[in-house]
Amino acid sequence: MNNIEWFREAKYGMMVHFGLYSMLAGEYRGRRTPYDYGEWIQSAFAIPNREMEQLAGAFNPVYFNAEEWVKLAKECGMTYFVVTSKHHEGFALFDSDCDAYNIKKATPFGRDLIAELAEACYKHGLKLGLYYSQELDWHHPHGGGYDKTTGCAGTAWYNNWDFPGADNKDYSICFNEKIKPQVKEIMTKYGDICLIWFDTPGVMTKAQSQELYDLVKQYQPDCLVNSRLGNGVYDYVSLGDNEIPAERPAEISKERAGDMQSMNDLFGFKYSPYNLYETAATLNDTWGFKYYDHNWKTPEQILANKQKLNGMGVNYLLNVGPDALGRIPSYSVDILRRVRELETQLLR
């Protein structure tokens, strides 16, 4: 079965947001981030890269256990596992030869987290997908996002505190120096990758989106590419964050898609070449760990969302945000296990 056929039946997956932002847990120097998303805290407080590098020097998630994470997903009925290989802060959870700002080379932890998760996924029969922030990179002086001031996270999209002046930026430098080499690394080092979950295309040109798509397909022809690569270059559509549509419209033709909405808009059904759709969603208000965010969705809400989405042929990719020690919060674990219990009861 190829990944297109598999994805149509996948229904339910786990997403994990984990990085240096997990250490801050939504708070910086006695102030809580004013925005929902804990993983955007560097931008929210304009934290200098030198401080983030110091955090990397202390990052040691000693309780991280790849088997525990993957087995939790499987026990809760999930069929695939997507983890942030690099988020907007630019810090990679894999061993990269093109940038030492990564978990293997810059931390006392000194292990390749993606490699361990890949091994656990293959062992326990889950498909592995990798999130990769291909345009935003706050650690690179030419990271993208400089076409925006604020957006869905309510704060600056590009690093204008370490590298001021949008006029001085050229994303193609970051694209060639870091993005393409790292995408090649994650496509060649960790076995079969079922999908790559790109995010926020921003300043990317269609040619750059196509180049990255072709790079993925060169090394993993069966790897699915999501719509947030941008510019209409993709295999499947990622709907908006936490989007639960009221209904699924009649199939959208490619010709009509441009009339209905921009191909880079996050929300709403867009044309999907293989008729594949997915919603990524949080259990509370944040993707990355925030210690004080207890606005949890109930198991009943989660199950209702899953049933509605799956009924429309949309996969449900549900996120957890481990803490700095590598522990998935107990509230998250309890909710996911209870969802599975409720679903099992309905199937009896």
How far is 80 from 207, CA to CA, in rounded Å?
30
pLDDT at residue number 262: 60
pLDDT score at 152: 62
Query: Residue holding tokens 């990944």?
Result: 3
Residue 92 buriedness (CB in 10 A; 0-12 / 13-18 / 19+): buried
Q: 320 in helix, strand or coil? A: strand
Q: 269 and 277 in contact (C-beta within 8 Å)? A: yes
For residue 81, the model assigns a pLDDT of 99
| DSSP H helical ranges for 59-112 | 66-75
Region at 228 (left for phi over 0; alpha for psi -120 to 50; beta for the rest): alpha
CA atoms of 179 and 86, how far apart (whole Å): 10
Task: Give the distance from CA 50 to its chain's centroid.
Answer: 24
Both tokens assigned to 91: 């810090």
Q: Mind giving me the DSSP string for 99-134?
A: -S-BTTTSSSS-S-HHHHHHHHHHHHT-EEEEEE-S
| pTM for the model | 0.95
Predicted local confidence at residue 165, as pLDDT: 82
Distance, in Å, from the CA atom of 183 to the CA atom of 56, rounded to the nearest integer, reads 22
326 phi/psi in degrees, rounded to 5: 90, 15
CATH number at residue 32: 3.20.20.80
Backbone angles phi, psi at 47, to 5 degrees: -75, 125
Regions of the chain short of the pLDDT cut 50? 256-261
Compute the distance between CA of residue 1 and CA of residue 57 in angstroms, rounded to an integer. 43
Per-residue pLDDT of 157-190, as tens digits, reads 889 999 998 788 999 999 999 999 999 999 999 9
Please give the pLDDT value at position 260.
Answer: 37
User: How far is 58 from 72, CA to CA, in rounded Å?
Assistant: 27
Give residue 258's pLDDT.
47
Instruction: Please write the tens of the pLDDT for every residue from 235-273.
Output: 999 999 999 887 777 767 665 444 434 656 667 788 889
Which one-letter DSSP state was computed for residue 296?
A: P
Do residues 3 and 68 lie in contact, with contact meaning Cβ atoms separated by under 8 Å? Answer: no
Domain that holds residue 278: 3-347
DSSP 12-38: EEEEE--STHHHHTTEETTEE-SSS-G
C-beta atoms surrounding 159 within 10 Å: 28
Q: What are phi and psi of 321, to 5 degrees?
A: -120, 100
Position 78, amino acid: M
pLDDT at 168: 86
Token representation of residue 143: 């990271």
pLDDT for res 31:
96
pLDDT, position 301:
98
Output the DSSP codes for 208-240.
Answer: HHHHHHHHHHHH-TT-EEBGGG-TT--SBEE--
> Residue 247 has what pLDDT?
77
Please name every residue paired with 314 in a beta bridge, in sequence order, or none if there are none. Answer: 277
Rg of the chain over Cα atoms, rounded to whole angstroms, equals 19
The total of structural domains in the chain comes to: 1
